Amino acid sequence: MIAALENATKRFGSTVAVSDASFGLDEGEVVALLGPNGAGKTTSLALLLGLRRPDEGRAVVFGADPRRAETRRNIGATPQEMAFPHALRVTEIVDLVRAHYEHPLARDDLLERFGLAELARRQVGGLSGGERRRVAVALAFAGGAPLVVLDEPTASLDTDARRAVWEAIRAHGAAGGSVLLTTHHLDEAEALATRVVVIDDGRTIADAGVPEIKAAAGLTRVRFRAPPDARVDGARRDGDHVRLLVADAGAAVAQLVRDGVPLHDLEVRPATLEEALGALTERL
């Protein structure tokens, strides 16, 4: 493991943002960190980036505490796009970040790769949201750090820019580097990630390879109100409702009807990523 959270817990007042979370990355891995908003993704990243200190457990990057500046030589991260000092030029910001690392990427190559060559002399305040996003992602790679951490790297990017970011992520992984990224898009996780970590309510609820994720992603959710004594194989109780995650909803409902289970308020819809992955964790 080149970076990991080990049983990390982080509280803010009475809120538990991350609860006993454990996951890590190996060399050459691209790991997608998924989960609903407020699940603890941002706090998990903050722990790994050394911005926050876990209350319990620890965050480790290359065997050391990321709260130490030297440890962070191994990490490249993205700022939030609206965060840039507006008066600085793209080249000045890129050079400022490069100056912190021992083996930074060549500035012109980096700008070229993220389609920023023509914007190089522009002040960041004058760039569009998508252009700033590209600068933000480029900064994560600028230092040539082995671990790249990307918080929603392709949000608000057009197709070309998204492709450039995907290529950079793949190339980094292929060259033995590691990437930890958050995303709301399952297709992005599928396209890029060698492994997916799902976090919900501050806990890691799944940690699996992409094939398992793909298998789980084809599920449909069947939900209905059922009397407390109704017995349905493979179902989970949810108050007075029962829910099932199945591959073939038609066959499942037909079976329920044959079994004489009363189906009130029947609801059938594709499982969300979180549900699919939740079902997956129970099987693992």
Residues binding other proteins (CB under 8 A): 49-53, 69-73, 75, 77-80, 82-85, 87-88, 92, 95-97, 99-101, 123, 143, 149
**In the complex, what is the shortest distance from the CB of residue 205 to other proteins, in angstroms, rounded to a whole number?**
26
Q: Which H/E stretch holds residue 7? A: strand 3-12
Contact yes or no for 30/193 (Cβ under 8 A): yes
* Alpha helices (H) along 206-248: 210-217
Q: Which is nearer to other proteins, 101 or 166 (CB)?
A: 101
**In the complex, what is the shortest distance from the CB of residue 89 to other proteins, in angstroms, rounded to a whole number?**
9
**In the complex, what is the shortest distance from the CB of residue 74 to other proteins, in angstroms, rounded to a whole number?**
8
**In the complex, what is the shortest distance from the CB of residue 98 to other proteins, in angstroms, rounded to a whole number?**
9
Q: Which is nearer to other proteins, 66 or 278 (CB)?
A: 66
Q: Which is nearer to other proteins, 96 or 257 (CB)?
A: 96
CA angle 143, 144, 146 (to 5 degrees): 120
CA 236 vs. chain centroid, Å, equals 27
User: Tokens representing 242?
Assistant: 């029962």
**CB-based contacts of 235, cutoff 8 Å, min separation 6:** 242, 243, 244
Of 128, 44, 124, 115, nearest in space to 86 by CA: 124
Q: Which is nearer to other proteins, 51 or 257 (CB)?
A: 51
**In the complex, what is the shortest distance from the CB of residue 176 to other proteins, in angstroms, rounded to a whole number?**
20
Cα→Cα distances 176→28, 81, 268, 275, Å: 4, 27, 43, 32
Q: Compute the distance between CA of residue 155 and CA of residue 133 in angstroms, rounded to an integer.
A: 8
**In the complex, what is the shortest distance from the CB of residue 190 to other proteins, in angstroms, rounded to a whole number?**
27
Q: Which is nearer to other proteins, 7 or 80 (CB)?
A: 80
Q: Compute the distance between CA of residue 48 and CA of residue 57 in angstroms, rounded to an integer.
A: 12
**In the complex, what is the shortest distance from the CB of residue 149 to other proteins, in angstroms, rounded to a whole number?**
8
Contact yes or no for 115/53 (Cβ under 8 A): no
Q: Which is nearer to other proteins, 100 or 236 (CB)?
A: 100
Q: Which is nearer to other proteins, 141 or 224 (CB)?
A: 141
